[in-house]
Amino acid sequence: MEPSTDTLASQIDPQKVPRHVAVIMDGNGRWAKKKGNSRIFGHKNGVEAVRQTVEAAAELGVRYLTLYAFSTENWNRPALEVSALMSLLMEAIGQEMDKLMRNQIRLLTIGDTEALPDNVRSKLRAAIEKTSANQGMRLVLALSYSARWELAQAARAIALKASQGLLDPERVDQRTVEEHLATAGMPDPELMIRTSGERRVSNFLLWQLAYAELAFVDKLWPDFRKEDFHAALLDYQGRERRFGLTSEQLEKKA
């Protein structure tokens, strides 16, 4: 018998919950295709998985949850799919506002949001503003995001400051880069989950995932539920994160 959600959740050590979990929500199209339906139907059914993931993360005390919702490369999908995704995003934000407020969740975005349609941008801006004083979990939507876009814009910003004499090029270090990323001020994700069985990073948080634990889940995104999030966390807690050290060194430090 499958262990129930409660059994899994109760095994999670509250002291070792990652501060930041990042998720590549993948497999909506395949989920729909298996049911003989359109890809858009898959995206619609992915919304429940988003709700469950947000709830599960907030309940466990995760501080930052970053969801990869739309990549730079996804702009090249069929126009109808892109516009359906934008509409769904608008709809979901509208529907979830009350819940975000009730649960003190603060909405943020990373990505080239200038590229989003005006109506989506203004809806997002309003939601970000409305939740800006919330003290609970940060829900970070990666929208029109890619890590290479992010790194290129960081390089541009740093170069510009250097050319204006605001920054000494000799002193550019890892911290300078971090401060110019879209995720400036956020801790790096300790855990990255990707659904749908694909084992790749697809241009997601390339800098920030340097030492993340990766969890690949075979389920397609619309089937992802709270208990799957719990299972990924439990798996994460069972791993030894060495950061280049030896096990013996880690034991000494503990």
Positions marked catalytic: 26, 74
x-or-dash pattern for Mg ion, window 19-58, by CB under 5 A? -------x--------------------------------
Report the candidate in 137, 142, 144, 170 with the shortest Cα–Cα distance to residue 64: 137
Residue nearest to ligand IPE (CB): 29
Do 189 and 21 meet the contact criterion of CB atoms below 8 Å apart? yes
Give yes or no for residue 150 binding Mg ion (CB under 5 A): no
Placement of tokens 């501080």 in the chain: 63
Which CB, 131 or 144, lies closer to ligand IPE?
A: 144
Strand order in the sheet with 64-71: 106-110, 138-145, 64-71, 20-24, 191-194, 213-216
The shares of helix, strand and coil residues in the chain, as percent rounded to the nearest 5, are: 50, 15, 35
* Torsions phi, psi for 241 (to 5 deg): -95, 110
Point out which residues bind ligand IPE (CB under 6 A).
24-30, 39, 68-71, 74, 85, 196, 198, 200, 202, 221
Rank residues 158 and 212 by Cβ distance to ligand IPE and give the closer one.
212
- 17 binding partner (options Mg ion, ligand IPE, none; Cβ < 5 to 8 Å by kind): none
The span from the CA of 30 to the CA of 219, in Å, is: 11
Q: Which is nearer to ligand IPE, 82 or 97 (CB)?
A: 82
CB of residue 142 to ligand IPE, shortest distance in Å: 7
Considering the complex, what minimum distance in angstroms separates the CB of residue 198 from Mg ion? 7
Q: Give the shortest CB-38-to-ligand IPE separation in angstroms.
A: 11
Cα gap 71→86, rounded to integer Å? 12
Nearer to ligand IPE, 114 or 251 (CB): 114
CA distance linking residue 154 with residue 152, whole number of Å:
5
The residues with which 24 forms a beta bridge, in sequence order, are: 68, 194
What 8-state DSSP symbol labels residue 113?
G
Nearest distance from C-beta of residue 212 to ligand IPE, angstroms:
16
Which of ligand IPE, Mg ion, none interacts with 69 (beta carbon under 5 to 8 A by kind)? ligand IPE
Q: Nearer to ligand IPE by C-beta: 131 or 146?
A: 146
Least gap, CB of 82 to Mg ion (angstroms): 14
